[in-house]
């Protein structure tokens, strides 16, 4: 974003947020794999694939927009 030289791009913070949430949700989904919560369509294990998607997206954003030394 803000192409103001020194500012860390907002996309990097978005990446951090998605990465941390992705890892937390993924781990939570794996931990409950054998005893899924009492929700509709729990057998689809949404936390695992949704957490995986967030993790990949977050890692990609972090890598693409990481602060670089000038």
Partner 1 sequence: MSLTLAMFEATRLVHLSGVDLAIIAFYFGLVLVIGFYLKRFANTGEDFFLAGREMTAWVAGLAFVSANLGSLELLGWAGSAYQYGIMAAHWYWIGAIPAMVFLGLVMMPFYYISKTHSVPGYLKLRYGSEASGLSAVTFAVMTILMSGVNMYAMAVVMKVVLGWDINFSIWVSSLTVGIYVAAGGLFSAIFNEVLQFFLIWFGALLIPILGLIETGGWSGMVARIHQNFPGQDFTHLWAPTASFANNPMGINWIGIVFGLGAVQSMGYWTTDFLVVQRVLSAKDIRSAKMAPIIGSYFKMAVPLIVILPGLLGLAVLPMHLFPASGLQPGQHSYNEVLPLMLARYCGPGLLGLGITALVAGFMAGMAGNVSAFATVWTYDIYRPFIRKNAPDKHYVSMGRWCTLIGLIISIGTAYLVMGFASIMDYVQALFGFFIAPLFGTVLLGMLWKRVTRWGGFLGLLAGTLSSVTMFLLMQKVDPQKWVPIFARSPLAKGLAQDMYQSLWACVTCVVVTVLVTLVTKPKPDSELVGLVYSLTPLAKEEHTSFWHRPLVWGVMALVLLAVLQIIFW
Residues making contact with partner 1 (CB under 8 A): 1-4, 6-8, 10, 13-14, 16-18, 20-21, 24-25, 28-29, 32, 36-42, 44, 46-47, 50-51, 54
Query: Whole-number minimum distance, CB 64 to partner 1, in Å?
Result: 14
Q: Any idea which residue has 């803000």 for tokens?
A: 2
Ranges assigned E (strand) in the chain = none
Query: Whole-number minimum distance, CB 39 to partner 1, in Å?
Result: 5
φ, ψ (nearest 5 deg) of residue 66: -65, 145
Q: Per the structure block, which two tokens stand in for 47? A: 């936390």
Query: Whole-number minimum distance, CB 59 to partner 1, in Å?
Result: 14
């Amino acid at each position: 974003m803000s192409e103001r030289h020194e500012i860390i791009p907002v996309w990097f913070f978005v990446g951090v947020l998605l990465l941390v949430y992705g890892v937390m949700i993924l781990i939570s989904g794996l931990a409950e794999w054998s005893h899924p919560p009492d929700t509709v369509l729990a057998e689809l294990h949404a936390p695992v694939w949704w957490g995986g998607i967030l993790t990949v997206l977050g890692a990609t954003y972090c890598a693409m927009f990481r602060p670089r030394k000038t």
